[in-house]
């Protein structure tokens, strides 16, 4: 029987893996996009930047929680 702590760590690991998978897919999609581009040229690119920032922030929080568990 697994403990609550073990279940929580497993869940955190799953969440981190899902975020990593999504970040990898985003990186592949925008590979080769210029470092600077205007929102008019690539409006979805700016949505991507916001999404990555949110994912990385969430991942950072999960990793911190994982380390403290």
19-62: pLDDT as tens digits: 999 888 888 887 877 767 777 877 777 777 788 889 999 999 99
| pLDDT in the model for residue 35 | 66
DSSP letter, residue 2: -
Indicate if the alpha-carbon torsion angle 46, 52, 54, 57 is positive or negative. negative
- Which residues form the domain of 41? 4-68
pTM value is 0.69
Q: Hey, how many other C-beta atoms are within 10 angstroms of the C-beta on 15? A: 17
Based on the structure, what is the number of domains in the chain?
Answer: 1
């Amino acid at each position: 029987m697994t403990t609550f702590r073990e279940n929580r760590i497993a869940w955190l690991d799953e969440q981190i893996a899902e975020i990593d998978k999504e970040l990898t897919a985003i990186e592949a999609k925008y590979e080769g996009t210029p470092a600077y581009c205007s929102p008019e040229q690539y409006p979805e690119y700016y949505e991507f930047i916001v999404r990555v920032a949110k994912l990385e922030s969430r991942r950072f929080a999960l990793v911190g929680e994982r380390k403290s568990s």
